[in-house]
């Protein structure tokens, strides 16, 4: 594991990925939660929301026709004055898309970091090559699918800002910036859907963990000393970590040399798998 980009206590790749998966689940829930407001239609309010020069049932009938045509629960706006001058629901949706974008940037960036290398970086995971190399370095596999997704997400966040500003111009009885709101929302939805699909197919589906590399990091990590703190105390554990750094040794090696604990007890406490579960290792 890593916090502040520095070594931290062990975490399994499956646990890391489960966090990413949960972000995606919550992203879907957030977007779906906005839809009831999006399904409200302003048709029937005519110019300023009064419904002048139209049949009293026009709004309801249009909503019903569209619902039947597209299989979506469109309905007439509960208040036509609000529907004419405000596009708060569009802002809400744009905001949730931007939230999703921030989540996806985090996931894509994590994958970039974990695949960095392959020899001088973290290199805990391997990504499928989708190009013959960089523009100047033959054979160099760049995380281009992750970076493409991140660029799209950056655009989605920018689009959300445009929608927010546009919604402030519902002066008096009509929002005059609906075209730019619609344009940015549709672009965000289209770009995000396409980018996620390509990222899934060309990066995530072929992603593999480098077991050997990850295992070597676990034993070499100074954070292994964390599980010793409840047994020998924080200060003593810190001394062991500092000595391991100074002498280029593992925590286990220093503990064995100084006979901190019996070897069987030490091995039980320094069991990396147990460190990835709740509780105090060795107890």
Residue given tokens 């091995």 in the structure block: 267
The burial class, CB within 10 Å (0-12 / 13-18 / 19+), for 32 is: exposed
User: Residue 183: how many CA atoms within 13 Å on its side-chain side?
Assistant: 8
Catalytic residue among 18, 33, 134, 216: 134
**Is-contact 219 256, C-beta < 8 A?**
no
Question: What is the distance between the terminal CA atoms of the chain, rounded to a whole angstrom?
Answer: 22
* Closest among 164, 183, 177 to 96, alpha carbons compared: 164
Active-site residue 80, yes or no?
Answer: no
The string over 254-273, giving b where at least 16 C-beta atoms fall within 10 Å of a residue's C-beta and e elsewhere, is bbeeeebbeeeebeebbbbe
**Is-contact 281 269, C-beta < 8 A?**
yes
Active-site residue 4, yes or no?
Answer: yes
Question: How far is residue 18's CA from residue 12's CA, in Å, rounded to a whole number?
Answer: 10
Sequence-ordered alpha helix ranges (H) in 71-177: 80-85, 88-115, 144-167
Catalytic residue among 4, 80, 188, 221: 4
Question: How far is residue 189's CA from residue 32's CA, in Å, rounded to a whole number?
Answer: 13
Report, as residue numbers or ranges, the catalytic residues.
Answer: 4, 134
């Amino acid at each position: 594991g890593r916090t502040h980009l520095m070594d931290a206590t062990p975490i399994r790749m499956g646990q890391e990925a489960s966090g990413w998966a949960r972000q995606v689940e919550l992203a879907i829930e957030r977007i779906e939660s906005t839809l009831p407001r999006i399904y409200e239609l302003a048709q029937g309010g005519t110019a300023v929301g009064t419904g002048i020069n139209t049949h009293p049932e026009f709004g309801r009938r249009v909503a019903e026709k569209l619902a039947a045509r597209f299989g979506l629960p469109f309905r007439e706006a509960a208040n036509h004055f609000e529907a004419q001058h405000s596009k708060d629901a569009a802002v809400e949706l744009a905001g949730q898309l931007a939230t999703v974008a921030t989540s996806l940037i985090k996931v894509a960036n994590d994958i970039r970091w974990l695949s960095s290398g392959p020899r001088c970086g973290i290199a805990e995971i391997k990504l499928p090559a989708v190009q013959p190399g960089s523009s100047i370095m033959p054979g160099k596999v760049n995380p281009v699918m992750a970076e493409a997704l991140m660029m799209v997400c950056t655009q989605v966040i920018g689009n959300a800002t445009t929608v927010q500003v546009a919604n402030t111009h519902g002066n008096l009885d009509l929002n005059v910036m609906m075209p730019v709101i619609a344009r940015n929302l549709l672009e965000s939805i289209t770009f995000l859907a396409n980018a996620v699909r390509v990222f899934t197919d060309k990066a995530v589906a072929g992603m593999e963990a480098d077991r050997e590399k990850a295992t070597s990091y676990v034993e070499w990590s100074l954070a292994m000393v964390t599980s010793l703190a409840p047994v020998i105390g924080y200060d003593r554990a810190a001394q062991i970590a500092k000595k391991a750094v100074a002498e280029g040794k593992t925590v286990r090696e220093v503990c064995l040399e100084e006979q901190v604990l019996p070897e069987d007890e030490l091995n039980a406490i320094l069991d990396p798998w147990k460190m990835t579960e709740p509780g105090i290792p060795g107890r």
